[in-house]
Structure 1
Amino acid sequence: MHQLKKPGDRAKRLCKLPGTNSTPYNKRKKTDSNFTDVMFIKTSSGAGGNGNVSFLREHGSPKGPPDGGDGGDGGSIYVQPVEGESSLHKLRRRIVAANGAGGKNSQMNGRNGEDIIIKVPVGTQITLADTSVMQRENLLPGEGWVHLSGFKEFNEERPFFKAIVKKKILEDRAQERQEEIEDAIPPDGIDLNREGPPVLLLKGGRGGLGNRHFHTPDIRNPRFATTGRAGITTIFKFELKLLADIGLIGMPNAGKSTILRAISNARPRVGHWAFTTLTPSVGTIQLDVATADRSFTVADIPGIIAGASLNRGMGSDFLRHVERAGSYAIIVGLDSTDPISDLQILVAELGEKRMENKNVLVVASKADLPGAQDKFIRLQEYVSRQGWKSLPVSAQNKGQDVEILIRTMAKLTGVI
């Protein structure tokens, strides 16, 4: 199985997770890969190392007391939301944490497996893709022993060993319950909607016990230790959903990118052809230069066409990116033969669930074209009946209309 390289290459330059033996997930080299907002990743936490069976060797004494060390714990997998990332394409599709090392003599414990931190964009949601593989392949309770060579049958026949096995059955069952708690993933998944510290995704297996733990007045020479607990393997779905105050929605060539360029510091491609916006983007709109807190964000997604919710058109994969927005700015071009029909199509593709509890502003773009005024009056009447706001805008002029639009959007988000 592929594992992280040992500290010494690029991983050596990365920071450690405070309080753990961990290194941030070593991402692939930067490429020109396309925007990726959904990935299925198979992940495995490390297994615990086995305990050691050994005895102290001193001059003049054929066999001293047991001194076998414990196995190290397997590496765990963490996920951390970070600002500055806007795609999942850098992540690997297979992530494996290291196993814990076996215990050694002289009471030396094995080294813990190195943890992995997967850094993802803020707004990533992680859910189980296949619950059937969410399990640890541990032995049955009471099993999992390391015997000194040639002493397996001898140990298993001893009454004291049988008593220890019964005790281990209870301990293993308690450990299974603890693992079930640690391995539990919320039904709705893990929603990383803000920057923060690493979150545990998969816990590594606990290391086994060395034979020194079984030394009692009745067991002077324990010739056995326990094996480490298994790690866990499963498949997660990583899904990026952009975080913005307003979702900018429209049909191809409706003027969305032109409007976003006029009102924000984002700079998407602008042109006179359909599907200009190829990937989602977020623009920040600041009302006043002196007061950074008076700002809001706008998410722009590719144009939506009829049937987008059924995987038609370039907007089909990006509807998820407006789900988190509290408000929608729906762009309808007044150059269309029927702007009301366009609006109805957009609302239908968003669906009732995405429209639930949303503030809606219908922005009628290209208001400077001939005949646009009559079309806007009819559109305004329809929008008012839905309980929404409407506003005509000519972004090409970059004049008073754009300033009014910015203020209207700010009121929609509660900034002013």
Structure 2
Amino acid sequence: MFVDEAKIRVAAGGGGNGCMAFRREKFVPRGGPSGGDGGRGGDIIMEASERHNTLVHFRFNPEYKAQRGRHGEGSNCTGADGESIVLKVPVGTIVYDEATGEKIHDFSQPDERIIVARGGRGGRGNQHFATPTHQAPREHELGRPGEERVLRLELKLLADVGLVGFPNVGKSTLISRISAARPKIANYPFTTLQPNLGVVTIGEMPDEESYVVADIPGLIEGAHQGHGLGIQFLRHIERTRLLVHLVDVSDASGRPDPVHDFEVIMQELESFGAGLIDKPMVVVAAKLDVANAKKLAKLRNYCDRERLPLIEISAVTGAGIQKLKYSIGAIVRQMRQGSYEGPKGVSRSRAAKKAAAKTKPAKAVVTRKLTKPAGAKKKAKRSMKDVKLRAAKPKGKQGKARAARKPKKLSARQRAKATGRR
């Protein structure tokens, strides 16, 4: 049973209490204080082990408590320390504090060891409280409690190569052909329900090389929203050096466009983040023995345009398997040496397209409309009219008097009426 998440409660042992005692011997009636210290409580220790590859043993045993320290005794005897507990975890396990969300440690190497909960310190006996003026102390200390915390364990498998693609494209069949792994293989989607690891060996002794391949359950459109099995298993390929993207070019899948399939998976990887889309990638045209010629040609053109390496294989007939093994091995070798200079994903071309779309110059018509609104001239005329009216308006008492002395202009009808009356 594969389990990649677990939550456990750990409690270190408390320290033993210090002792209050006095030395009593036949010829030493007042020998002074002789109370010993308490022992230290046991720690909770985690250690990375290559023999473990799952967290299933923590799923059914979620609580661990270390032994407390023994109490101090007379004759200055210190109590024994509590026994520590060592918890074995797989390499690739990340430990978080559940209360704060703090990342405590990432086990990336075998035999790494850390203390996740420290035992309490033992209390001091009354021998430590004697002074020249206080020679018979009865004070002594209690042991300190050990640390208690809830931990969340998350396993990320360590592999060199990660296989991605839609369900039922042949990922499990491929890993069974290139390695000794024997995952469940069947002709229906989501046959793989948990990640599988396989070790691929290329070359011959003494120049033999090997790398680890991780096969995760298939992705579908909307996986980042929880569709299908979701993207919960994508963390197992976060640490891979290379991604191998399998695309079905046959008619068995029922999907008409292999390029669309590729873009959907790339979108899911981009939604997950963690730099998956920027990793070096090899595109594999699977099921070559029953391939659709139009689909295969379309995928070839796309890979040429995006400058992605394309390898055509058939896991049934074995065509292209050796070429794929050695091509992956060459890239992994270059990645380990830090000399790889090949293409890395398709994010760069996408980013360039987005940048070009954002930097397109605006049309001149739009700029003119924005700088000169339609009602600008009318507003200007109105403003000039307002200025004239304000200038003509009399101000103060003298201005009103001058306005009163000016003769009013009469219209022609008013003048005719005035002359007719006279």
TM-score band by shorter chain is 0.7 to 0.9
Equivalent residues in 2 for 1:14-413, closer than 5 Å? 34-91=1-58, 92-131=61-100, 187-291=102-206, 294-314=209-229, 316-335=231-250, 336-351=255-270, 352-371=273-292, 373-399=293-319, 401-413=320-332
Query: Offset at 1:311?
Result: 2.7
1:46·1:74 contact (CA, 8 Å) conserved in 2?
Answer: yes
Query: Offset at 1:415?
Result: 5.8
1:333·1:365 contact (CA, 8 Å) conserved in 2?
Answer: yes
Query: Offset at 1:102?
Result: 1.3
Cα distance in structure 2, aligned partners of 1:339 and 1:413 = 26
Cα distance in structure 2, aligned partners of 1:362 and 1:405 = 10
CA deviations over 1:321-371 (Å, ceiling 9, x no partner): 111101100111112422111111211222243325411111110112142
Cα distance in structure 2, aligned partners of 1:65 and 1:384 = 91
Structure number with greater Rg is: 2
Query: Offset at 1:289?
Result: 4.0
Cα distance in structure 2, aligned partners of 1:292 and 1:77 = 43
Cα distance in structure 1, aligned partners of 2:323 and 2:304 = 19
Query: Offset at 1:315?
Result: 5.0
Query: Offset at 1:189?
Result: 3.2
Cα distance in structure 1, aligned partners of 2:256 and 2:32 = 92
Change (3 A) 1:227 1:331: same
SS at match of 1:397: coil
1:51·1:68 contact (CA, 8 Å) conserved in 2?
Answer: yes
CA deviations over 1:83-121 (Å, ceiling 9, x no partner): 121110112211111211211111111111111111011
CA deviations over 1:98-150 (Å, ceiling 9, x no partner): 21121111111111111111101111111111129xxxxxxxxxxxxxxxxxx
SS at match of 2:324: helix
1:37·1:241 contact (CA, 8 Å) conserved in 2?
Answer: yes
Query: Offset at 1:282?
Result: 0.9
SS at match of 1:314: coil
Letter in 1 for 2:22: F
Q: Which moved more, 1:96-105 or 1:116-125?
A: 96-105
Query: Offset at 1:292?
Result: 7.1
Query: Offset at 1:270?
Result: 1.4
TM-score normalised per structure 2: 0.74
Query: Structure 1: 5+ residue runs without aligned partners?
Result: 1-33, 133-186
Change (3 A) 1:310 1:358: same
CA deviations over 1:167-201 (Å, ceiling 9, x no partner): xxxxxxxxxxxxxxxxxxxx443110110242221
2:249·2:291 contact (CA, 8 Å) conserved in 1?
Answer: no
TM-score normalised per structure 1: 0.75
CA deviations over 1:285-308 (Å, ceiling 9, x no partner): 110242475111100111112222
Change (3 A) 1:355 1:385: farther
Which protein, 1 or 2, shows the higher relative CO under an 8 Å CA cutoff with sep ≥ 6? 1
Letter in 2 for 1:110: G
Task: Give the aligned length.
Answer: 327
Cα distance in structure 2, aligned partners of 1:125 and 1:314 = 22
Structure 1 vs Structure 2 CA RMSD: 1.9
Change (3 A) 1:189 1:293: farther
SS at match of 2:289: coil
1:48·1:230 contact (CA, 8 Å) conserved in 2?
Answer: yes
2:269·2:277 contact (CA, 8 Å) conserved in 1?
Answer: no
Query: Offset at 1:403?
Result: 0.4
1:376·1:392 contact (CA, 8 Å) conserved in 2?
Answer: no
2:97·2:103 contact (CA, 8 Å) conserved in 1?
Answer: no
Query: Structure 2: 5+ residue runs without aligned partners?
Result: 336-422
Letter in 2 for 1:102: H
Cα distance in structure 2, aligned partners of 1:188 and 1:380 = 44
Change (3 A) 1:381 1:261: same
